């Protein structure tokens, strides 16, 4: 999977970009400065924002929809940053989105949902806020040339990823403080996940934890548990790790 995705990305990257087209969206919500598109959720109402490549995987082309309404086409975008609000917001990143640079997402204090897919030429960083947040994708592939960092907040967060993923760098997941009243889960299941460097998972500091990996490959797996009753399940599928380091975990299921 990884070589074919890289070939696809390389061919598409050869296309040139010209011009800039944006609809009359609120400058406080959507603002492109040079090659950087900044997106901020509305502070007064909950929103669903979708970033779409319009089915063409054209480098730097971003179609923005808010609550299903077309808000503009932005061309020449190399970096995207998204900032959430205190409401229950949703961010959807389409598989056709092709960005040469970074994606940075910081959700707010609400119970938010983030769905990631597409191509990113550098790094992806997701910081989940204090609410009960969900990071999930069920079908569309994700390719990251750099590294991916996912950091959960203080709430009962769920990271349940079910998609083909190729990351040439590291994948780091930190469940944060957690909530001792709930079981917070982390899952990379049902599809192939290929990590070029280390897969690192830091389970939350409080509460019980379940980590399930299926068909995941990486040169090194590092898992560190917290204070609760932690469980790591490596039995499903065909996981391949060159080196495994698991500490502060009560139960480990091996193939």
Please report the pLDDT score of residue 233 as a whole number: 94
Secondary structure of 86-130 in the HEC alphabet? CCCCEEEECCCCEECCCEEEECCCCCCEEECCEEECCCEEEECCC
State whether the Cα torsion 68-74-75-77 is positive or negative.
negative
* pTM of structure: 0.86
Pick from 144, 116, 142, 143: which is nearest to 128 by CA? 116
Pick from 51, 2, 11: which is nearest to 169 by CA? 2
> Between 5 and 112, where is the model more confident?
112
Structure token digits, residue 74: 């932005």
- Answer whether residue 161 shows pLDDT above 50: yes
* CB atoms inside a 10 Å sphere around CB 253: 11
The tens digit of pLDDT for each residue in 84-137 reads 888 889 999 999 999 999 999 999 887 889 999 999 999 999 998 776 778 877
Instruction: Give SS3 for 18.
Output: coil
Domain residue extents for the chain: 2-188+196-214
């Amino acid at each position: 999977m990884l070589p074919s995705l890289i070939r696809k990305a390389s061919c598409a990257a050869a296309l040139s970009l010209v011009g800039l087209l944006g609809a009359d969206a609120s400058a406080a919500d959507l603002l492109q400065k040079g090659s950087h598109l900044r997106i901020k959720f509305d502070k007064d109402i909950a929103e669903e924002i979708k970033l779409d490549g319009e089915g063409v995987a054209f480098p730097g082309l971003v179609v923005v929809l808010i609550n299903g309404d077309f808000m503009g086409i932005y061309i020449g975008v190399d970096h995207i940053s998204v900032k959430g609000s205190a409401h229950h917001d949703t961010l959807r990143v389409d598989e056709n989105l092709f960005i040469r640079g970074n994606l940075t997402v910081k959700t707010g204090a609400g119970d938010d949902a983030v769905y990631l897919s597409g191509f990113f030429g550098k790094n992806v960083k997701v910081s989940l806020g204090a609410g009960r947040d969900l990071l999930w994708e069920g079908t569309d592939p994700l390719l990251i040339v750099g590294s991916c960092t996912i950091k959960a907040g203080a709430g009962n967060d769920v990271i349940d990823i079910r998609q083909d993923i190729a990351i040439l760098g590291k994948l780091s997941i930190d469940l944060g403080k957690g909530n001792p009243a709930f079981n917070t889960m982390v899952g990379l299941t049902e599809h192939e996940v290929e990590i070029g460097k280390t897969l690192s998972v830091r389970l939350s500091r409080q509460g019980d934890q379940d980590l399930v990996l299926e068909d995941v490959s990486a040169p090194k797996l590092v898992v560190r548990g917290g204070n609760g009753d932690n469980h790591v399940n490596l039995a499903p599928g065909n996981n391949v790790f060159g080196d495994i380091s698991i500490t502060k975990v009560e139960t480990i299921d091996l193939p």
